[in-house]
Chains A and B, each alone.
Chain A
Amino acid sequence: MTALLRRYQFIVPYLLLTPGLIWLAIFYIYPSIQMFISSFWSGSLEHGFTFSLANVHNYTDSLSRYQEQIVRSVFFAAAATVATFLISFPLAYTIAFRAGQYKNLLLFLVIAPFFTSFLLRVISWRTILGDDGLLLGPLKSAGLVSDDVRILATPVAVISGIAYNFLPFMTLPIYVSLEKIDKRLLEAGQDLYATPWSAFRKITLPLALPGIFAGTLLTFIPAMGDYVNAELLGQTPATKMIGNVVQSRFLVNNDYPTAAALSFILMAGILVAVAVYARLLGTEELMSSAS
């Protein structure tokens, strides 16, 4: 058998890929195509749906009707990504360069939240951020904050909820990139009279870019489609994201054409962002630094 394989060496990769790819073809590609077709439907649940290419207006209609939510999703996801980056970078830097023997412990602590249910984490935040909860309660009692201030049901709650959930996703790729940096490069920089800050700016930061990009994508993409945070922490119409809209369109209003159109708009936006990044880096790099 191995002799056969040796002769037809070129088959091997295809053999390896086939089982998984078949699975994805049946359970991802085919359903996606079906969804795409349904975005060209018009009609309703009761009267039935009909397909027509003229229904491309579903896309333009959805775009204009849900402009606010789309923009808001981009904004929230971007804000959360920035926040996550600002929190993660120093953390990853410390672990990579300053942690010494505690490196693995710290890495473990960073991943640890992952070991609890995502929903439970959001619920815990809901408890903590309550109007009289662990955060605001003492502040209000101490008079530092007026009584009608709230965090829940504001954009702040949603953004910080999203940011929190994606911290490991951002920290780990950055850490991996930073760790790979050859320390001798930094020594060389020092030898050439670079200050610590300019060494950081000119050596460390550029070399960390692949990790930063990977982390950013791993955060931004799911954040765009989030709806659990917006629902449990946001709770208010002013914080609804595109994920909430899709869910509502699909389940509440049975408006499948719009839901499908919105889904593909969302995906298109994400793919554009990814394509831009891929251009800058190449998908191989992307996949390998994401871990």
Chain B
Amino acid sequence: MTTVALQPAARSHGTPAQRIRRWLGHNALFVYTFAAIVYLMLPIAVMILFSFNRPAGKSNFAWREFSFDAWLNPFAPLGLSDAVMASLRIAFISTIVATILGTLIGLGLTRYVFRGRAATNLIIFLPMATPEIVLGASLLTLFVSIGMARNELTILIAHIMFNISYVVVTIRARLAGFDRRLEEAAMDLGATEMVTFWKVTFPLIFPGILAAAMLAFSLSIDDFVITNFTAGSTVTLPMYIYGATRIGVPVQVNVIGTIIFGTAVGAVLLSTLLQRRDRAA
């Protein structure tokens, strides 16, 4: 894909400045990409770096000295572990439910033509277009009017609600390229619809479902505005962090952030590795 042919010739003549310019011209895109990736990674690098900091007081914004303290006591600050556990619980459960509901909708929308399809599209799309603060405020009003106490359950409901849309969109994107002929082939070979679904369709769309689930999980674990309104007395990790920004984010928050980042990276790397071995074998 790259135009390789020209390079050997260019090396042989021109002043250093000219050669650099020529090199840049050919590789401008790569230089740019490198710079862009650095830009993307910068805040993450800062976050990870500062998790090894030992600030003089409560604010963690200036580098003072390298220390493992925060890593050895990641749940030191009051309430941090509760917040993390709450966030994880909510994320797991809302992901599972939203993925199921969303996948069903996604399947329905892509494989069938029916009346009300446009309306359904709209209903799915609207929550994504609604500002989070509106979603949060309206949900809070709902819970109060039906007499439901605000706690983890209400946060869960809210997260499932907004996750459904994202799951549907992701699934649809993946389903778009799905070749129905494979199913027809299976059925021609005598498989019933159930068997076809579980042995042909599902495995093929599973990566899409997984991608949607990962998206839902990360959206849920990171949500702040909507959670803030529907939380009642529960505190999730983003709420904890936001509160901490007023006073000084403890170093342990960076540690938790790094751990989450590392876990996500690890999971993706693992699955890629498995896929690669799978393909190579």
* Residues on A facing B (Cβ under 8 Å): 2, 5-6, 10, 12-17, 19-21, 23-25, 27-32, 34-35, 38, 87, 90-91, 93-95, 97-98, 100, 104, 106, 108-110, 112-121, 123-128, 130, 133-134, 164, 167, 176, 221, 224-225, 227-228, 232, 243, 246-247, 250, 259-260, 263, 266-267, 270-271, 274, 283-284, 287-291
Contact = CB atoms under 8 A, between A and B. Distances in A.
A130 to B, nearest CB: 7
A31 B141 contact: yes
B137 A259 contact: yes
A222 B78 CA distance: 33
B80 interface: no
Contacts of A109: 37, 40-41
A29 B123 contact: yes
Chain A at the B interface: SS class: helix
Contacts of B254: 120
A246 B133 contact: yes
Contacts of B130: 28, 32, 225, 267
B185 to A, nearest CB: 19
Contacts of B47: 116, 120-121, 123-124
B50 A127 contact: yes
A106 B105 CA distance: 31
Interface of B: 1-2, 29-30, 32-33, 36-37, 39-44, 46-47, 50, 61, 100-102, 104-105, 107-109, 111-112, 114, 118, 120-135, 137-139, 141-142, 145, 157-158, 160-161, 164, 168-170, 172-174, 176, 192-194, 218, 221-222, 224-225, 237-238, 241-242, 245, 249, 253-254, 257, 260-261, 264-265, 268, 272
B113 to A, nearest CB: 8
A246 B134 contact: yes
Nearest to A133: B61
A16 B43 contact: no
Residue of A16, A108, A266 most packed against chain B (CB within 10 A): A16
B238 to A, nearest CB: 5
A114 to B, nearest CB: 6
A127 B44 CA distance: 12
A29 B122 CA distance: 12
Contacts of A110: 37, 40
Chain B at the A interface: SS class: helix
Given A20-B164, A100-B1, A267-B129, A87 B36 contact: yes
Contact of A263 (B131, B157, B257): B131
Given A119-B242, A246-B131, A247-B133, A128 B121 contact: no
Given A2-B194, A108-B268, A271-B129, A117 B36 contact: no
Residue of A109, A117, A167 most packed against chain B (CB within 10 A): A117
B245 to A, nearest CB: 6
A35 B40 contact: no
Contact of A288 (B2, B176, B261): B176
A16 B261 contact: no
Contacts of A128: 42-43, 46
Contacts of B123: 21, 24-25, 28-29
Contact of B169 (A221, A225, A250, A291): A291
A115 B260 contact: yes
A14 B114 contact: yes
A263 B108 contact: no
A24 B164 contact: yes
10 smallest CB-CB distances across A and B, nearest first, come from A225-B131, A16-B108, A31-B138, A124-B43, A291-B173, A115-B264, A20-B101, A13-B112, A263-B134, A31-B142
Nearest to B97: A23
Contacts of A133: 61
A119 B256 CA distance: 13
Contacts of B242: 119
A120 B253 contact: yes
Contacts of B174: 291
Contacts of B265: 112, 115
B173 A13 contact: no
Contacts of A95: 33
A12 B110 CA distance: 12
Contacts of A91: 32-33, 36
Given A119-B224, A274-B129, A288-B176, A125 B43 contact: yes
Contact of A130 (B33, B61, B112): B61
A179 to B, nearest CB: 12
Contact of A35 (B61, B109, B141): B141
A266 B192 CA distance: 50
Given A17-B104, A23-B164, A287 B126 contact: no
A263 B2 CA distance: 49
Nearest to A250: B137
B154 to A, nearest CB: 10
